[in-house]
Amino acid sequence: MRRLNALALAAALVWAVPIFLPVSALAIDLKDMVYDPGQLKPVDSTLKVRPGQTAPDFALPSTTGTTVRLSDYRGKKNVVLSFVPAAFTPVCSDQWPGYKLTRDLFEERDAVILGISVDNVPSLYAWVVEMHGLWFPVLSDFQPRGAVAQKYGLLRTSGTSERAIVIIDKKGVIRFAKAFDINRRPDLGVIMGELDKLPK
Amino acid sequence: MNRFAASLLALLLFCTPALAKPKVGDILPDMEIKAAPLQHEAAYLGLPAGSKSFRLSQVKAEALLVEIFSMYCPRCQAGARDVNALFQDLSALPQGQKLKMLGLGAGNSAFEVNAFRKQFEIPVPLFQDGDYALHKAFGNVYTPTYMVLRPEPGGKGFRVLFLQEGPFADGKAFLDQVLRVSGVQ
């Protein structure tokens, strides 16, 4: 009898556990086109930066062939660093199209996005094409792999970056930094709320 | 079989509908939408003014056309104006009083749903599903997905009359199809 109960419990857990796991809604465009890594550990790093600090500077190659330096924006724009784990994966592949749609919300707040992942430039280029283009620079943190993510404390043990948002004001000071659950998109309302706190 | 094992078997059977994508003929539960409709949305759906949440069964309609969408979904963005036109065409018909439309933003917060609504000037009532609870109950479908649902007698949920994953190509043809399957006169 105990064995029957144990077998029934094991079967129920295997069958029922998926309904309690968070899932993401996949856009039909991406069906059969992206690699689903499954559910991952929500956060797998320790943040090294905090609000009030000067943001560590960096220079990374972009998909347009130029090198983009963070400090180039000092005195000009608020910067939103959007770290995403990997190209051609479900959550990442619709996060940035959402920012494409809401470009005016960022520009009203005098902010530019720098999209960053550890993928190499050719992969990122193809991904941006697949997303039908983006209005913001997409930067490759590939060589040395994940060095910028590491500098910010956003490199996972798997070698990808976290799904993180870092907001930097026009003086180059970090105003917000968070590694979100990698399995879910950060709420745009949170990002806008933090941008609204910056001095005009 | 003892009671414990029987209870677990019941749990398995209960969980199965939440995992599988629905198909025509399936019965879905009467879901609670934990979002407050805007004033004009409440009026359109026949809900009390000032409602903070509602159940699908409270919508005054013989059938529902539900779109599962996401602000982040490129096809949803590309098709938003077509959905607006669909809503306008349906609302202009007598059947528009009996077949009501609404959208559920899978994984979208209230802010994100509102951004989508404003960007495309969407008249269709839209509601957030930030924790994917509704998306899960609808079977984790792709976005956009369109379903026609008819309430079952006795408040026993909603029968799926139509389901399409992916956008529609021809709005007029899609409206004709939806009206036909809904059975509203």
Domain ranges of chain B: 22-182
Considering only CB atoms, B136 lies closest to which of A9, A23, A188, namely A23
- CA–CA separation, B159 and B153 (whole Å): 10
Split at pLDDT 50, 70, 90, the class of B18 is very low
Residue of A34, A80, A81, A92 marked catalytic: A92
Split at pLDDT 50, 70, 90, the class of A113 is very high
Domain boundaries, chain A: 40-196
A67 contacts A100 by C-beta, under 8 angstroms: no
Q: How far off is chain A from B122, nearest CA to CA, in Å?
A: 14
pLDDT score recorded for residue A121: 98
Considering only CB atoms, B111 lies closest to which of A11, A22, A187, namely A187
CB contact under 8 A, A98 and B11: no
Q: How far off is chain B from A3, nearest CA to CA, in Å?
A: 10
pLDDT score recorded for residue B20: 77
B130–chain A Cβ distance below 8 A for any pair: yes
Split at pLDDT 50, 70, 90, the class of A38 is confident
Burial of B172 (0-12, 13-18, 19+ CB in 10 A): exposed
Correct CATH for A40-196 of 3.40.50.300, 3.30.2030.30, 3.40.30.10, 3.40.50.720 = 3.40.30.10
**Which of these ranges, A149-158, B12-21, B107-116, B146-155, has the smallest mean pLDDT?**
B12-21
Which of B162, B182, B155, B175 lies closest to B26 in space, CA to CA? B162
Per-residue pLDDT at A91 exceeds 80: no
Q: Tell me, which fold does domain B22-182 have in CATH?
A: Glutaredoxin (3.40.30)
Per-residue pLDDT at B15 exceeds 50: no
Our measurement of the distance from residue B182's CA atom to the centroid of its chain's CA atoms, rounded to an integer in Å, reads 14
Q: Find the angle CA(A95)-CA(A157)-CA(A80) to the nearest 5 degrees.
A: 35
Question: Which chain A residues are within 8 Å of B11, Cβ to Cβ?
Answer: 12, 16
Split at pLDDT 50, 70, 90, the class of B12 is low
B68 contacts B138 by C-beta, under 8 angstroms: yes
What percentage of chain B exceeds 90 in pLDDT?
A: 84
Q: What is the mean pLDDT of residues A97-107?
A: 94
pLDDT score recorded for residue A15: 55
A26–chain B Cβ distance below 8 A for any pair: yes
Considering only CB atoms, B143 lies closest to which of A9, A15, A28, namely A28
The structure's pTM equals 0.86
- DSSP secondary structure letter of residue A24: -
- CA–CA separation, B149 and A44 (whole Å): 42
B1–chain A Cβ distance below 8 A for any pair: yes
- CA–CA separation, A97 and B71 (whole Å): 9
Q: Does the annotation count A42 as an active-site position?
A: no
CB contact under 8 A, B107 and A188: no
Per-residue pLDDT at B104 exceeds 70: yes
pLDDT in tens, A182-193: 999 999 999 999
